[in-house]
Structure 1
Protein backbone atom coordinates (compact mmCIF):
# COMPACT_ATOMS: atom_id res chain seq x y z
CA UNK A 1 0.00 0.00 0.00
CA UNK A 2 2.86 2.39 0.79
CA UNK A 3 4.48 1.69 -2.57
CA UNK A 4 1.18 2.26 -4.36
CA UNK A 5 0.69 5.62 -2.66
CA UNK A 6 4.24 6.69 -3.44
CA UNK A 7 3.77 5.68 -7.08
CA UNK A 8 0.70 7.92 -7.26
CA UNK A 9 2.92 10.98 -6.88
CA UNK A 10 1.10 12.35 -3.82
CA UNK A 11 3.04 13.73 -0.87
CA UNK A 12 2.95 11.55 2.25
CA UNK A 13 3.41 13.05 5.74
CA UNK A 14 5.44 11.10 8.31
CA UNK A 15 5.79 12.80 11.72
CA UNK A 16 8.41 11.24 13.98
CA UNK A 17 7.15 9.08 16.84
CA UNK A 18 9.25 9.30 20.00
CA UNK A 19 7.49 6.38 21.67
CA UNK A 20 4.75 3.82 20.84
CA UNK A 21 1.91 5.96 22.22
CA UNK A 22 2.85 8.93 20.04
CA UNK A 23 2.66 6.65 16.98
CA UNK A 24 -0.98 5.93 17.74
CA UNK A 25 -1.64 9.65 18.18
CA UNK A 26 -0.08 10.30 14.76
CA UNK A 27 -2.48 7.77 13.27
CA UNK A 28 -5.48 9.25 15.08
CA UNK A 29 -4.67 12.69 13.67
CA UNK A 30 -4.87 11.37 10.12
CA UNK A 31 -1.25 11.35 8.96
CA UNK A 32 0.04 8.97 6.30
CA UNK A 33 2.80 7.22 8.17
CA UNK A 34 5.14 7.16 11.16
CA UNK A 35 8.84 7.93 11.07
CA UNK A 36 11.26 6.51 13.65
CA UNK A 37 14.37 8.67 13.93
CA UNK A 38 17.79 7.43 14.89
CA UNK A 39 18.42 10.77 16.59
CA UNK A 40 15.30 10.29 18.70
CA UNK A 41 16.24 6.71 19.63
CA UNK A 42 19.70 7.92 20.65
CA UNK A 43 18.30 10.84 22.65
CA UNK A 44 15.80 8.53 24.34
CA UNK A 45 18.80 6.60 25.68
CA UNK A 46 20.61 9.80 26.66
CA UNK A 47 23.14 9.40 23.84
CA UNK A 48 24.25 11.71 21.01
CA UNK A 49 23.37 10.78 17.44
CA UNK A 50 26.85 9.52 16.46
CA UNK A 51 26.21 5.84 15.74
CA UNK A 52 26.30 4.57 19.32
CA UNK A 53 23.00 2.66 19.19
CA UNK A 54 22.98 -0.99 18.15
CA UNK A 55 20.81 -2.87 15.66
CA UNK A 56 19.17 -4.72 18.54
CA UNK A 57 18.20 -1.48 20.28
CA UNK A 58 16.90 0.15 17.11
CA UNK A 59 14.94 -2.89 15.90
CA UNK A 60 13.45 -3.48 19.33
CA UNK A 61 12.22 0.06 19.69
CA UNK A 62 11.02 0.04 16.09
CA UNK A 63 8.96 -3.08 16.74
CA UNK A 64 7.38 -1.51 19.84
CA UNK A 65 6.37 1.56 17.85
CA UNK A 66 5.23 -0.24 14.68
CA UNK A 67 2.89 -2.56 16.58
CA UNK A 68 0.92 0.41 17.91
CA UNK A 69 -0.27 1.63 14.52
CA UNK A 70 -1.69 0.39 11.24
CA UNK A 71 0.24 3.12 9.42
CA UNK A 72 3.47 2.24 7.62
CA UNK A 73 6.46 2.86 9.89
CA UNK A 74 9.79 3.88 8.35
CA UNK A 75 12.91 3.59 10.50
CA UNK A 76 16.35 5.18 10.38
CA UNK A 77 19.07 2.51 10.08
CA UNK A 78 22.04 4.91 9.98
CA UNK A 79 24.87 3.34 7.97
CA UNK A 80 23.44 -0.16 8.31
CA UNK A 81 25.36 -1.01 11.49
CA UNK A 82 28.54 -2.15 9.78
CA UNK A 83 29.84 -3.50 6.50
CA UNK A 84 27.62 -4.74 3.62
CA UNK A 85 27.08 -8.11 5.32
CA UNK A 86 25.86 -6.27 8.43
CA UNK A 87 23.58 -4.16 6.23
CA UNK A 88 22.01 -7.36 4.88
CA UNK A 89 21.28 -8.60 8.38
CA UNK A 90 19.92 -5.20 9.34
CA UNK A 91 17.32 -5.33 6.56
CA UNK A 92 16.06 -8.77 7.55
CA UNK A 93 15.94 -7.85 11.23
CA UNK A 94 13.88 -4.74 10.47
CA UNK A 95 11.54 -6.76 8.25
CA UNK A 96 11.00 -9.19 11.12
CA UNK A 97 10.23 -6.24 13.43
CA UNK A 98 7.24 -5.23 11.31
CA UNK A 99 8.66 -2.07 9.76
CA UNK A 100 7.51 -0.93 6.32
CA UNK A 101 10.90 0.39 5.24
CA UNK A 102 14.19 1.96 6.18
CA UNK A 103 16.97 4.16 4.85
CA UNK A 104 20.70 3.49 4.70
CA UNK A 105 23.08 6.44 4.47
CA UNK A 106 26.48 7.05 2.92
CA UNK A 107 28.28 8.64 5.84
CA UNK A 108 31.55 7.32 7.21
CA UNK A 109 31.02 5.25 10.34
CA UNK A 110 30.63 6.50 13.05
CA UNK A 111 28.08 8.86 11.51
CA UNK A 112 26.82 12.14 12.90
CA UNK A 113 23.63 14.14 12.69
CA UNK A 114 22.99 15.09 9.07
CA UNK A 115 22.61 18.80 9.87
CA UNK A 116 25.92 19.21 11.68
CA UNK A 117 29.15 20.41 10.10
CA UNK A 118 32.18 18.16 9.71
CA UNK A 119 30.43 15.18 8.12
CA UNK A 120 32.37 12.73 5.96
CA UNK A 121 30.94 10.41 3.34
CA UNK A 122 32.21 7.12 1.96
CA UNK A 123 33.29 6.72 -1.64
CA UNK A 124 30.70 5.89 -4.30
CA UNK A 125 31.68 2.21 -4.46
CA UNK A 126 31.14 1.69 -0.73
CA UNK A 127 27.82 3.54 -0.80
CA UNK A 128 26.62 1.43 -3.71
CA UNK A 129 27.68 -1.81 -2.00
CA UNK A 130 25.60 -0.92 1.06
CA UNK A 131 22.45 -0.45 -1.02
CA UNK A 132 23.06 -3.55 -3.14
CA UNK A 133 23.52 -5.60 0.02
CA UNK A 134 20.27 -4.21 1.42
CA UNK A 135 18.30 -4.93 -1.76
CA UNK A 136 19.75 -8.44 -2.15
CA UNK A 137 18.91 -9.30 1.48
CA UNK A 138 15.29 -8.15 1.25
CA UNK A 139 12.77 -11.00 1.48
CA UNK A 140 9.56 -8.96 1.48
CA UNK A 141 9.21 -7.22 -1.91
CA UNK A 142 7.03 -4.59 -0.26
CA UNK A 143 9.74 -3.49 2.17
CA UNK A 144 10.92 -0.02 1.10
CA UNK A 145 14.67 0.51 0.90
CA UNK A 146 15.66 4.16 0.70
CA UNK A 147 19.15 5.50 0.17
CA UNK A 148 20.12 8.60 2.09
CA UNK A 149 23.02 10.68 0.83
CA UNK A 150 24.77 13.31 2.92
CA UNK A 151 27.19 14.36 0.21
CA UNK A 152 25.43 17.68 -0.48
CA UNK A 153 27.02 19.30 2.58
CA UNK A 154 30.44 17.95 1.61
CA UNK A 155 30.71 18.32 -2.18
CA UNK A 156 27.62 20.24 -3.31
CA UNK A 157 24.33 19.61 -5.07
CA UNK A 158 25.80 18.26 -8.33
CA UNK A 159 27.68 15.60 -6.42
CA UNK A 160 24.47 14.78 -4.51
CA UNK A 161 22.58 14.25 -7.77
CA UNK A 162 25.32 12.02 -9.16
CA UNK A 163 25.44 10.00 -5.94
CA UNK A 164 21.65 9.66 -5.88
CA UNK A 165 21.60 8.35 -9.46
CA UNK A 166 24.21 5.73 -8.59
CA UNK A 167 22.21 4.62 -5.55
CA UNK A 168 19.04 4.28 -7.64
CA UNK A 169 20.99 2.20 -10.15
CA UNK A 170 22.06 0.01 -7.22
CA UNK A 171 18.39 -0.69 -6.44
CA UNK A 172 17.24 2.01 -4.04
CA UNK A 173 13.45 2.44 -4.11
CA UNK A 174 13.62 6.09 -3.00
CA UNK A 175 16.17 8.80 -2.26
CA UNK A 176 16.61 10.82 0.93
CA UNK A 177 18.83 13.80 0.02
CA UNK A 178 19.90 15.20 3.37
CA UNK A 179 20.38 18.90 4.20
CA UNK A 180 19.06 20.43 0.99
CA UNK A 181 19.51 24.21 1.12
CA UNK A 182 16.41 25.37 -0.75
CA UNK A 183 13.43 24.27 -2.81
CA UNK A 184 15.46 24.60 -5.99
CA UNK A 185 17.70 21.77 -4.84
CA UNK A 186 14.72 19.53 -4.24
CA UNK A 187 13.45 20.45 -7.70
CA UNK A 188 16.84 19.55 -9.20
CA UNK A 189 16.66 16.16 -7.51
CA UNK A 190 13.15 15.66 -8.82
CA UNK A 191 14.23 16.45 -12.36
CA UNK A 192 17.20 14.09 -12.19
CA UNK A 193 15.48 11.08 -10.57
CA UNK A 194 12.50 8.87 -11.38
CA UNK A 195 12.02 7.49 -7.85
CA UNK A 196 10.28 9.04 -4.83
CA UNK A 197 12.16 11.73 -2.89
CA UNK A 198 12.03 12.31 0.88
CA UNK A 199 12.44 15.73 2.53
CA UNK A 200 13.68 16.09 6.10
CA UNK A 201 12.07 19.09 7.82
CA UNK A 202 14.02 18.99 11.07
CA UNK A 203 14.12 22.17 13.13
CA UNK A 204 17.31 24.16 13.77
CA UNK A 205 19.06 22.50 10.81
CA UNK A 206 20.46 23.54 7.46
CA UNK A 207 17.17 23.35 5.54
CA UNK A 208 14.43 25.96 5.75
CA UNK A 209 11.17 24.66 7.22
CA UNK A 210 9.13 24.46 4.04
CA UNK A 211 5.39 23.82 4.13
CA UNK A 212 3.80 20.65 2.84
CA UNK A 213 2.42 22.60 -0.12
CA UNK A 214 5.83 24.03 -1.01
CA UNK A 215 7.40 20.57 -0.93
CA UNK A 216 4.56 19.13 -2.97
CA UNK A 217 5.12 21.80 -5.60
CA UNK A 218 8.82 20.89 -5.70
CA UNK A 219 7.97 17.27 -6.48
CA UNK A 220 8.73 15.77 -3.06
CA UNK A 221 6.90 12.51 -2.26
CA UNK A 222 7.54 12.07 1.47
CA UNK A 223 8.22 14.54 4.26
CA UNK A 224 9.40 13.72 7.77
CA UNK A 225 9.49 15.80 10.94
CA UNK A 226 11.84 13.44 12.79
CA UNK A 227 12.49 15.06 16.16
CA UNK A 228 9.67 17.61 16.36
CA UNK A 229 7.35 15.80 18.78
CA UNK A 230 10.23 14.90 21.09
CA UNK A 231 11.41 18.51 21.13
CA UNK A 232 7.92 19.76 21.92
CA UNK A 233 7.40 17.13 24.62
CA UNK A 234 10.74 17.84 26.28
CA UNK A 235 10.09 21.58 26.12
CA UNK A 236 6.74 21.07 27.84
CA UNK A 237 8.32 18.80 30.45
CA UNK A 238 10.97 21.41 31.22
CA UNK A 239 8.34 24.14 31.67
CA UNK A 240 6.31 21.87 33.93
CA UNK A 241 9.31 21.20 36.16
CA UNK A 242 9.97 24.94 36.39
CA UNK A 243 6.35 25.43 37.45
CA UNK A 244 6.73 22.81 40.18
CA UNK A 245 9.77 24.66 41.48
CA UNK A 246 8.09 28.06 41.34
CA UNK A 247 4.52 27.23 42.37
CA UNK A 248 4.68 23.90 44.18
CA UNK A 249 2.01 22.24 42.02
CA UNK A 250 0.91 21.98 38.40
CA UNK A 251 -2.55 23.48 38.69
CA UNK A 252 -1.72 26.23 36.17
CA UNK A 253 -0.53 23.61 33.67
CA UNK A 254 -3.60 21.37 33.67
CA UNK A 255 -4.90 22.87 30.45
CA UNK A 256 -1.71 21.83 28.65
CA UNK A 257 -1.94 18.19 29.74
CA UNK A 258 -3.49 15.26 27.93
CA UNK A 259 -6.59 14.44 29.96
CA UNK A 260 -6.85 11.06 31.62
CA UNK A 261 -9.91 10.25 29.49
CA UNK A 262 -8.01 11.01 26.28
CA UNK A 263 -5.09 8.85 27.38
CA UNK A 264 -7.39 5.93 28.20
CA UNK A 265 -9.08 6.31 24.84
CA UNK A 266 -5.75 6.37 23.00
CA UNK A 267 -4.49 3.18 24.65
CA UNK A 268 -7.91 1.49 24.22
CA UNK A 269 -8.34 0.97 27.95
CA UNK A 270 -11.97 -0.09 27.48
CA UNK A 271 -11.04 -2.71 24.89
CA UNK A 272 -8.58 -4.34 27.29
CA UNK A 273 -11.16 -4.14 30.07
CA UNK A 274 -13.80 -5.87 27.94
CA UNK A 275 -11.35 -8.62 27.04
CA UNK A 276 -10.40 -9.04 30.68
CA UNK A 277 -14.00 -9.35 31.89
CA UNK A 278 -14.90 -11.82 29.12
CA UNK A 279 -12.13 -14.15 30.31
CA UNK A 280 -12.29 -13.67 34.06
CA UNK A 281 -15.97 -12.92 34.57
CA UNK A 282 -17.17 -15.08 37.48
CA UNK A 283 -19.19 -14.80 40.65
CA UNK A 284 -18.38 -16.01 44.14
CA UNK A 285 -21.20 -17.99 45.65
CA UNK A 286 -22.25 -16.99 49.13
CA UNK A 287 -21.65 -19.46 51.92
CA UNK A 288 -25.08 -21.01 52.64
CA UNK A 289 -24.17 -21.21 56.30
Structure 2
Protein backbone atom coordinates (compact mmCIF):
# COMPACT_ATOMS: atom_id res chain seq x y z
CA UNK A 1 0.00 0.00 0.00
CA UNK A 2 1.46 3.34 -1.09
CA UNK A 3 0.94 6.57 0.82
CA UNK A 4 3.43 8.76 -1.07
CA UNK A 5 1.28 8.68 -4.19
CA UNK A 6 3.07 11.38 -6.10
CA UNK A 7 6.50 9.89 -5.48
CA UNK A 8 5.27 6.48 -6.61
CA UNK A 9 4.01 7.95 -9.89
CA UNK A 10 7.29 9.84 -10.40
CA UNK A 11 9.14 6.57 -10.00
CA UNK A 12 6.84 4.82 -12.48
CA UNK A 13 7.26 7.41 -15.24
CA UNK A 14 11.03 7.53 -14.67
CA UNK A 15 11.39 3.86 -15.56
CA UNK A 16 12.44 2.93 -19.11
CA UNK A 17 9.71 2.98 -21.72
CA UNK A 18 6.41 4.86 -21.90
CA UNK A 19 4.12 4.39 -18.90
CA UNK A 20 0.45 3.91 -19.91
CA UNK A 21 -2.42 5.35 -17.86
CA UNK A 22 -5.83 4.13 -19.02
CA UNK A 23 -8.87 6.37 -18.80
CA UNK A 24 -11.72 5.26 -16.53
CA UNK A 25 -15.07 6.99 -16.22
CA UNK A 26 -16.85 5.16 -13.38
CA UNK A 27 -16.25 2.42 -10.83
CA UNK A 28 -17.27 -0.39 -13.16
CA UNK A 29 -14.92 0.66 -15.95
CA UNK A 30 -12.15 0.95 -13.36
CA UNK A 31 -12.97 -2.55 -12.09
CA UNK A 32 -12.44 -3.97 -15.57
CA UNK A 33 -9.36 -1.84 -16.30
CA UNK A 34 -7.72 -2.88 -13.03
CA UNK A 35 -7.25 -6.35 -14.45
CA UNK A 36 -5.08 -4.95 -17.24
CA UNK A 37 -3.38 -1.74 -16.08
CA UNK A 38 -1.74 -0.44 -12.92
CA UNK A 39 -2.38 3.26 -13.59
CA UNK A 40 -5.67 5.09 -14.15
CA UNK A 41 -6.40 8.43 -15.80
CA UNK A 42 -9.55 10.13 -14.50
CA UNK A 43 -10.55 11.64 -17.82
CA UNK A 44 -12.65 14.80 -17.86
CA UNK A 45 -14.18 13.69 -21.17
CA UNK A 46 -15.25 10.35 -19.73
CA UNK A 47 -16.42 11.73 -16.39
CA UNK A 48 -18.52 14.48 -17.99
CA UNK A 49 -20.13 11.89 -20.25
CA UNK A 50 -20.75 9.33 -17.50
CA UNK A 51 -21.67 11.48 -14.50
CA UNK A 52 -23.55 14.29 -16.26
CA UNK A 53 -24.38 12.92 -19.69
CA UNK A 54 -22.80 16.07 -21.15
CA UNK A 55 -19.88 16.89 -23.45
CA UNK A 56 -16.51 17.93 -22.07
CA UNK A 57 -17.06 21.69 -22.20
CA UNK A 58 -16.67 22.74 -18.57
CA UNK A 59 -19.66 21.31 -16.70
CA UNK A 60 -17.66 19.29 -14.14
CA UNK A 61 -17.90 20.50 -10.53
CA UNK A 62 -14.77 19.83 -8.51
CA UNK A 63 -16.54 18.18 -5.51
CA UNK A 64 -17.83 15.52 -7.90
CA UNK A 65 -14.32 14.76 -9.15
CA UNK A 66 -12.98 14.65 -5.59
CA UNK A 67 -15.73 12.20 -4.61
CA UNK A 68 -14.94 10.00 -7.62
CA UNK A 69 -11.26 10.00 -6.66
CA UNK A 70 -12.14 8.98 -3.10
CA UNK A 71 -14.24 6.04 -4.33
CA UNK A 72 -11.53 4.87 -6.69
CA UNK A 73 -8.82 5.09 -4.05
CA UNK A 74 -10.88 3.06 -1.58
CA UNK A 75 -11.33 0.24 -4.08
CA UNK A 76 -7.90 0.42 -5.74
CA UNK A 77 -5.34 1.31 -3.05
CA UNK A 78 -2.33 0.35 -5.18
CA UNK A 79 -3.19 2.02 -8.49
CA UNK A 80 -1.82 5.34 -9.68
CA UNK A 81 -4.62 7.90 -10.10
CA UNK A 82 -3.88 10.84 -12.41
CA UNK A 83 -6.78 13.31 -12.31
CA UNK A 84 -7.83 15.72 -15.04
CA UNK A 85 -8.77 18.99 -13.28
CA UNK A 86 -9.39 20.99 -16.48
CA UNK A 87 -8.49 24.64 -15.77
CA UNK A 88 -8.56 24.16 -12.00
CA UNK A 89 -12.30 24.94 -11.92
CA UNK A 90 -11.81 28.67 -11.67
CA UNK A 91 -9.26 31.09 -10.29
CA UNK A 92 -5.89 30.20 -8.71
CA UNK A 93 -7.34 30.09 -5.19
CA UNK A 94 -9.91 27.48 -6.21
CA UNK A 95 -7.29 25.49 -8.13
CA UNK A 96 -5.05 25.34 -5.08
CA UNK A 97 -7.93 24.26 -2.85
CA UNK A 98 -8.93 21.51 -5.28
CA UNK A 99 -5.37 20.18 -5.38
CA UNK A 100 -5.24 19.97 -1.58
CA UNK A 101 -8.57 18.15 -1.50
CA UNK A 102 -7.54 15.71 -4.22
CA UNK A 103 -4.28 14.91 -2.50
CA UNK A 104 -6.19 14.20 0.72
CA UNK A 105 -8.57 12.00 -1.30
CA UNK A 106 -5.68 9.85 -2.52
CA UNK A 107 -4.90 11.23 -5.97
CA UNK A 108 -1.42 10.53 -7.31
CA UNK A 109 -1.34 13.53 -9.61
CA UNK A 110 -3.28 16.15 -11.52
CA UNK A 111 -3.24 17.74 -14.96
CA UNK A 112 -3.82 21.51 -15.13
CA UNK A 113 -4.56 23.04 -18.55
CA UNK A 114 -4.10 26.60 -19.82
CA UNK A 115 -7.52 26.93 -21.48
CA UNK A 116 -9.85 29.78 -20.73
CA UNK A 117 -13.60 29.35 -20.52
CA UNK A 118 -15.70 28.29 -22.29
CA UNK A 119 -13.25 25.35 -22.41
CA UNK A 120 -13.27 22.45 -24.85
CA UNK A 121 -11.97 18.91 -25.13
CA UNK A 122 -8.31 19.16 -26.04
CA UNK A 123 -8.98 17.58 -29.45
CA UNK A 124 -11.95 19.82 -30.35
CA UNK A 125 -12.05 23.01 -32.37
CA UNK A 126 -12.48 26.45 -30.84
CA UNK A 127 -10.02 26.20 -27.94
CA UNK A 128 -8.87 29.47 -26.40
CA UNK A 129 -5.90 29.74 -24.08
CA UNK A 130 -5.11 32.00 -21.15
CA UNK A 131 -2.35 34.58 -21.34
CA UNK A 132 0.82 32.74 -20.39
CA UNK A 133 1.50 34.77 -17.25
CA UNK A 134 -2.03 34.19 -16.00
CA UNK A 135 -1.67 30.44 -16.45
CA UNK A 136 1.75 30.36 -14.80
CA UNK A 137 0.31 32.17 -11.77
CA UNK A 138 -2.37 29.48 -11.47
CA UNK A 139 0.22 26.72 -11.95
CA UNK A 140 2.39 28.28 -9.23
CA UNK A 141 -0.57 28.22 -6.84
CA UNK A 142 -1.15 24.54 -7.60
CA UNK A 143 2.52 23.71 -7.09
CA UNK A 144 2.57 25.61 -3.79
CA UNK A 145 -0.56 23.80 -2.61
CA UNK A 146 0.71 20.26 -3.14
CA UNK A 147 2.76 18.21 -0.73
CA UNK A 148 3.82 15.18 -2.74
CA UNK A 149 1.30 15.34 -5.60
CA UNK A 150 2.54 14.77 -9.16
CA UNK A 151 1.63 17.82 -11.29
CA UNK A 152 1.34 17.90 -15.09
CA UNK A 153 1.32 21.29 -16.82
CA UNK A 154 -0.75 21.14 -20.02
CA UNK A 155 -0.96 23.58 -22.89
CA UNK A 156 -3.75 23.59 -25.46
CA UNK A 157 -1.97 25.98 -27.83
CA UNK A 158 -2.67 25.09 -31.45
CA UNK A 159 -0.21 27.33 -33.29
CA UNK A 160 3.14 25.55 -33.42
CA UNK A 161 5.23 28.57 -32.42
CA UNK A 162 3.04 29.20 -29.37
CA UNK A 163 2.98 25.49 -28.60
CA UNK A 164 6.77 25.32 -28.47
CA UNK A 165 7.10 28.60 -26.56
CA UNK A 166 4.73 27.37 -23.87
CA UNK A 167 6.40 23.97 -23.73
CA UNK A 168 9.69 25.70 -22.87
CA UNK A 169 8.05 27.93 -20.28
CA UNK A 170 6.21 25.07 -18.59
CA UNK A 171 9.30 22.88 -18.58
CA UNK A 172 11.16 25.63 -16.71
CA UNK A 173 8.73 25.43 -13.76
CA UNK A 174 8.69 22.96 -10.85
CA UNK A 175 6.00 20.90 -12.56
CA UNK A 176 6.74 17.19 -12.88
CA UNK A 177 5.71 16.71 -16.51
CA UNK A 178 4.50 18.61 -19.57
CA UNK A 179 1.59 17.74 -21.87
CA UNK A 180 0.93 19.42 -25.21
CA UNK A 181 -2.55 18.31 -26.18
CA UNK A 182 -3.54 17.83 -29.80
CA UNK A 183 -0.06 17.23 -31.27
CA UNK A 184 -0.70 16.47 -34.94
CA UNK A 185 2.31 14.47 -36.13
CA UNK A 186 5.45 12.62 -35.13
CA UNK A 187 7.50 15.53 -36.48
CA UNK A 188 5.63 17.98 -34.28
CA UNK A 189 6.01 15.69 -31.28
CA UNK A 190 9.78 15.65 -31.85
CA UNK A 191 9.79 19.46 -31.76
CA UNK A 192 7.84 19.38 -28.51
CA UNK A 193 10.28 16.83 -27.07
CA UNK A 194 13.21 19.12 -27.92
CA UNK A 195 11.45 22.16 -26.46
CA UNK A 196 10.75 20.34 -23.19
CA UNK A 197 14.46 19.65 -22.63
CA UNK A 198 14.95 17.22 -19.76
CA UNK A 199 11.40 17.57 -18.45
CA UNK A 200 9.34 14.35 -18.70
CA UNK A 201 6.74 14.42 -21.49
CA UNK A 202 3.14 13.16 -21.48
CA UNK A 203 1.12 12.32 -24.60
CA UNK A 204 -2.68 12.11 -24.83
CA UNK A 205 -4.24 9.35 -26.96
CA UNK A 206 -7.96 9.71 -27.69
CA UNK A 207 -9.99 7.77 -30.23
CA UNK A 208 -10.87 9.94 -33.21
CA UNK A 209 -8.72 12.79 -31.91
CA UNK A 210 -6.27 15.03 -33.74
CA UNK A 211 -3.13 13.10 -32.75
CA UNK A 212 -1.75 10.02 -34.54
CA UNK A 213 -2.38 6.59 -33.00
CA UNK A 214 1.10 5.70 -31.76
CA UNK A 215 2.09 2.45 -30.09
CA UNK A 216 3.92 2.58 -26.78
CA UNK A 217 7.08 1.42 -28.55
CA UNK A 218 6.77 4.28 -31.02
CA UNK A 219 6.17 6.78 -28.23
CA UNK A 220 9.24 5.55 -26.39
CA UNK A 221 11.26 6.11 -29.55
CA UNK A 222 9.91 9.66 -29.69
CA UNK A 223 11.01 10.37 -26.13
CA UNK A 224 7.59 10.24 -24.47
CA UNK A 225 7.66 9.19 -20.81
CA UNK A 226 3.96 8.47 -20.26
CA UNK A 227 0.75 8.24 -22.27
CA UNK A 228 -2.83 8.76 -21.15
CA UNK A 229 -5.59 6.87 -22.94
CA UNK A 230 -8.63 9.05 -22.33
CA UNK A 231 -11.53 7.07 -23.74
CA UNK A 232 -10.95 3.37 -24.63
CA UNK A 233 -13.30 2.15 -21.87
CA UNK A 234 -15.98 4.75 -22.63
CA UNK A 235 -16.01 4.21 -26.38
CA UNK A 236 -15.84 0.42 -26.04
CA UNK A 237 -18.82 0.51 -23.67
CA UNK A 238 -20.74 2.70 -26.11
CA UNK A 239 -20.08 0.28 -28.96
CA UNK A 240 -20.89 -2.80 -26.87
CA UNK A 241 -24.12 -1.36 -25.50
CA UNK A 242 -25.31 -0.38 -28.96
CA UNK A 243 -24.62 -3.93 -30.21
CA UNK A 244 -26.19 -5.64 -27.20
CA UNK A 245 -29.38 -3.57 -27.29
CA UNK A 246 -29.75 -3.97 -31.03
CA UNK A 247 -29.40 -7.74 -30.57
CA UNK A 248 -31.93 -7.75 -27.72
CA UNK A 249 -34.40 -5.84 -29.84
CA UNK A 250 -33.88 -8.11 -32.84
CA UNK A 251 -34.38 -11.25 -30.68
CA UNK A 252 -37.80 -10.09 -29.45
CA UNK A 253 -36.38 -9.41 -25.99
CA UNK A 254 -34.72 -12.79 -25.39
CA UNK A 255 -31.50 -12.37 -23.43
CA UNK A 256 -28.38 -14.15 -24.72
CA UNK A 257 -27.12 -17.18 -22.81
CA UNK A 258 -24.01 -16.27 -20.76
CA UNK A 259 -22.97 -19.92 -20.65
CA UNK A 260 -22.14 -19.66 -24.36
CA UNK A 261 -19.20 -17.46 -23.37
CA UNK A 262 -20.19 -14.41 -25.42
CA UNK A 263 -21.76 -12.39 -22.58
CA UNK A 264 -21.09 -11.59 -18.95
CA UNK A 265 -23.68 -12.93 -16.52
CA UNK A 266 -24.50 -12.33 -12.88
CA UNK A 267 -21.69 -14.58 -11.65
CA UNK A 268 -19.01 -12.94 -13.77
CA UNK A 269 -20.06 -9.43 -12.84
CA UNK A 270 -20.33 -10.25 -9.14
CA UNK A 271 -16.90 -11.87 -9.17
CA UNK A 272 -15.39 -8.74 -10.74
CA UNK A 273 -16.97 -6.41 -8.19
CA UNK A 274 -16.04 -8.64 -5.25
CA UNK A 275 -12.40 -7.80 -5.93
CA UNK A 276 -13.18 -4.21 -4.99
CA UNK A 277 -14.19 -5.35 -1.53
CA UNK A 278 -10.77 -6.93 -1.12
CA UNK A 279 -9.18 -3.65 -2.23
CA UNK A 280 -11.13 -1.70 0.37
CA UNK A 281 -9.98 -4.06 3.09
CA UNK A 282 -6.34 -3.59 2.02
CA UNK A 283 -6.79 0.17 1.94
Change (3 A) 1:64 1:269: closer
Deviation at 1:267, TM superposition (A): 2.2
For residues 58-101 of structure 1, give each alpha carbon's deviation from its aligned partner in whole angstroms, at most 9, with x where no partner exists.
11112222322211010100000001111101110111111100
What SS does structure 2 have at the residue aligned with 1:52?
Answer: coil
* Contact 1:131/1:171 (<8 A) preserved: no
* Contact 1:16/1:225 (<8 A) preserved: yes
Aligned ranges 1:220-239 → 2 under 5 Å:
220-239=224-243
The residue that corresponds to 1:119 in the other structure is 127
Deviation at 1:23, TM superposition (A): 2.1
Task: Please give the alpha-carbon distance, in whole angstroms, between the structure 2 residues aligned to 1:244 and 1:260.
Answer: 17
Deviation at 1:252, TM superposition (A): 6.8
Structure 1 residue 5 corresponds to structure 2 residue 47: no
Aligned ranges 1:175-194 → 2 under 5 Å:
175-193=178-196, 194=198
Task: Please give the alpha-carbon distance, in whole angstroms, between the structure 2 residues aligned to 1:191 and 1:231.
Answer: 33
What SS does structure 2 have at the residue aligned with 1:224?
Answer: strand
For residues 119-150 of structure 1, give each alpha carbon's deviation from its aligned partner in whole angstroms, at most 9, with x where no partner exists.
110111011111101001112x2x10101100
The residue that corresponds to 1:264 in the other structure is 270
What SS does structure 1 have at the residue aligned with 2:34?
Answer: helix
Deviation at 1:15, TM superposition (A): 1.0
Task: Please give the alpha-carbon distance, in whole angstroms, between the structure 2 residues aligned to 1:166 and 1:225.
Answer: 25
Task: Please give the alpha-carbon distance, in whole angstroms, between the structure 2 residues aligned to 1:269 and 1:118.
Answer: 42
Q: Name stretches of at least 5 consecutive residues in structure 2 with no aligned partner.
A: 1-7
Which of 1 and 2 has greater Rg?
1
Deviation at 1:259, TM superposition (A): 4.2
The TM-score, its normalising length taken from structure 2, stands at 0.88
Task: Please give the alpha-carbon distance, in whole angstroms, between the structure 2 residues aligned to 1:271 and 1:167.
Answer: 40
Aligned ranges 1:26-65 → 2 under 5 Å:
26-29=33-36, 31-44=37-50, 45-65=52-72
The residue that corresponds to 2:206 in the other structure is 202
* Contact 2:75/2:277 (<8 A) preserved: no
Structure 1 residue 21 corresponds to structure 2 residue 28: yes
What SS does structure 1 have at the residue aligned with 2:90?
Answer: coil
* Contact 2:17/2:217 (<8 A) preserved: no
The TM-score, its normalising length taken from structure 1, stands at 0.86
Change (3 A) 1:269 1:107: closer
RMSD: 2.0
Task: Please give the alpha-carbon distance, in whole angstroms, between the structure 2 residues aligned to 1:252 and 1:159.
Answer: 56
For residues 8-48 of structure 1, give each alpha carbon's deviation from its aligned partner in whole angstroms, at most 9, with x where no partner exists.
3431111111222332332322x241111001111011111
* Contact 2:256/2:263 (<8 A) preserved: no
Larger relative contact order (C-alpha < 8 A, sep ≥ 6)? 2
For residues 243-287 of structure 1, give each alpha carbon's deviation from its aligned partner in whole angstroms, at most 9, with x where no partner exists.
121112232786442344433332236977xx9xxxxxxxxxxxx
How many pairs were matched up?
Answer: 267
Change (3 A) 1:176 1:241: same
Structure 1 residue 249 corresponds to structure 2 residue 257: no
Moved more, 119-128 or 181-190: 181-190
What SS does structure 1 have at the residue aligned with 2:228?
Answer: strand
